[in-house]
Amino acid sequence: MQSTGPWKTVVLEGQTLVRELLAKAIADDARFELVGEAGDGTTGREVIRRRRPNLVVVDLQMMGIDGLELIRGLRRELPRVRTLALAATPSPLMLNRAREVGVHGMVERDQSLEVFLEALGEIGEGRRYFAAEHRRTYERLQSDPQSFPKFLTGREQDILRYVVEGRTSKDIAERLDLSPRSVETFRYRLMRKLGVRNLAALIEFAFRSGLMRGESGSSPT
């Protein structure tokens, strides 16, 4: 991205306190111009369409439209917009999907404001920002012929994330802009590919194989 002045920036973050802190940090930095913020994906998408920012900060776990789904849509509708994802300790599944949909960088939620602003600045300059551990995980997935990206489609990975979180087909459908019937079809195909017969076995597989490690902030007991 060529710098022609402060980068117009929108913040989408589900937690009000965190959103306000990030917004203030951005507004106080001369490199950026805060032009909008929202606490959920549905409102956030409208803010982005209206404000046409250069940079968008996206909380991947916010309510409404799935954060990765929102970014995927942005890449089609506004391909020049660059995105920084915020996440709890991301699992290999989350990291892989983030790279697949075109996220330009990722910062974990326990990082400092200094790291956040560094990442946002790097992305504004046209570069990417991923921690060394994130890069190693992604490279390992790409080089291993038996890794899940080699046999699960992007949609199947999305469905797996939400099924393991305990979400209903209706909820998943709303977040991914699918019909509940389509979600059920994806779930059936997913279970067939993984060789499991029920939800409990699917969840066990996801955690045992490390696909969901850390993403939800906890593991099954």
pLDDT, one tens digit per residue, over 99-117 is 999 999 999 999 999 999 9
Amino acid symbol at 29 = D
Cα separation, 113 vs 98, whole angstroms: 21
* Core vs surface per residue 41-80: b (16+ CB within 10 A) or e: bebbbebbeeeebbbbbbbbbbebbbbbbbbbbbbeeeee
Cα separation, 32 vs 11, whole angstroms: 12
The answer to whether 90 and 130 have CB atoms below 8 angstroms apart is: no
User: What residues have CB less than 8 Å from 76, skipping those under 6 apart?
Assistant: none
In the beta sheet, which residues pair with residue 84? Answer: 57, 105
- Domains of the chain listed by start with CATH number: 7-141 (3.40.50.2300), 151-208 (1.10.10.10)
| pLDDT tens digit sequence for 151-201 | 888 889 888 888 888 888 898 998 888 999 999 999 888 888 888 888 888
Cα separation, 69 vs 144, whole angstroms: 26
In this prediction, residue 4 carries a pLDDT of 61
Angle at 216 between CA 65 and CA 159, to 5 degrees: 50
Task: Assess whether pLDDT exceeds 90 at residue 20.
Answer: yes
Q: How many CA atoms lie within 13 A of 57 on its CB side?
A: 35
pLDDT above 70 coverage of the chain, percent: 93
